[in-house]
A = this chain, B = another copy of it.
Amino acid sequence: MSILVVGSVAFDTVKTPFGEVRDALGGSAAHFAVAASFFAPVRLVAVVGEDFTPAHRQPLLDRSIDLGGLTTATGRTFRWSGAYGDDLNSARTLDTQLNVFADFRPNVPEVWRDTPLLFLANIDPDLQWDVLHQVRGAKLVAADTMNYWIDGKPEALKKLLGRVDILLINDGEIRQLTGERNLVRAVSVVRRLGPPAVVVKRGEHGVLVFEGESAFALPAFPLASVIDPTGAGDAFAGGFLGYLASRGLDGERDLRTAAVVGSVMASYQVEDFSLDRLKRLTMPEIRERFSRFEDLTRFKTLS
């Protein structure tokens, strides 16, 4: 089953305590698409500038990502520059150049409008709303957002949430969105706005998944070396929704196993800069780390 993602494709300049990259391929849609591509066919809707060369497309094409919705506009590609301190938990943005992304008006190719699974990566909630209505055939809609939109367009975001099946959001953002410090209560507030399922991403502290009466908590994989956290949330979303797509939407959707798969992808994502680790990742490695998550979390019952 195919997934359609709309979001950003960018050139990232990132500095961490372990090195730096300049103008490396990034953006929410790119990170998501590469991670999801291990599990399902991915259709990408985004915009790049004239400086986005065939060589830049190649890593996406190597993952069989369908770039039929990647338009080239006059101007330069979106650029983001950030730095991480020792704690690696949050980036300090040094520079943002929207460039062609400033005028991005996503236009989903007609033949893609029945894609069953839609991921609205972190872009303007008005654009997310627009894409949601273009992809009329979507059976499952998931969305991400960020502090910038929570602050700047809270009403548009809340309207969107009324139409979203799964919200993926980080812990700081859900607190900001709801004004609730306690995560359990924050999730209750968000679910009253619409999404029946909420996935709270907590970075190095793992992930919480709430759906119906079910709460699932998974720690992050304890890594001795984290090189660059950029794209971890999008790689999580890619693994999470990629797994759901691979299982189809007819039976009971298994958000728990999907969250483990997402965490596997995020754990690899942070092991290197840009898409470098995921470019050389293999399915046996994914299965190996999934089984290490099983080892990490299992315990015997109380006797």
Which residues on A are within 8 Å of B, measured CB to CB? 86-88, 181-185, 188, 202, 205-206, 208, 214-220, 222-226, 254, 256-257, 259-261, 287, 290-291, 294-302
Contacts and interface: CB of A to CB of B under 8 A. Distances in A.
B185 A296 contact: no
A115 B215 CA distance: 41
A298 to B, nearest CB: 7
A53 B203 CA distance: 48
B184 A299 contact: no
A219 B217 contact: yes
B300 A226 contact: no
Contact of A218 (B257, B291, B299): B299
Contacts of A181: 86-88
B215 A256 contact: no
Nearest to A259: B299
Contact of A302 (B202, B257, B297): B257
A289 to B, nearest CB: 10
Nearest to A223: B184
Contacts of A206: 205-206, 217, 219
B222 A217 contact: yes
A257 B296 contact: no
Contacts of A220: 217
A270 to B, nearest CB: 12
Contact of A299 (B256, B299, B301): B256
Contacts of A295: 214-215
A215 B222 contact: yes
A215 to B, nearest CB: 6
Contacts of A208: 219, 222
Given A287-B302, A302-B261, A302-B290, A215 B185 contact: no
Contacts of A216: 296-297, 299
Contacts of A214: 295
Nearest to A301: B294
Contacts of A219: 206, 208, 217-219
Contacts of A86: 181
A208 B220 CA distance: 11
B224 A185 contact: yes
Max chain B Cβ within 10 angstroms of own Cβ: one of A88, A205, A219, A259: A219
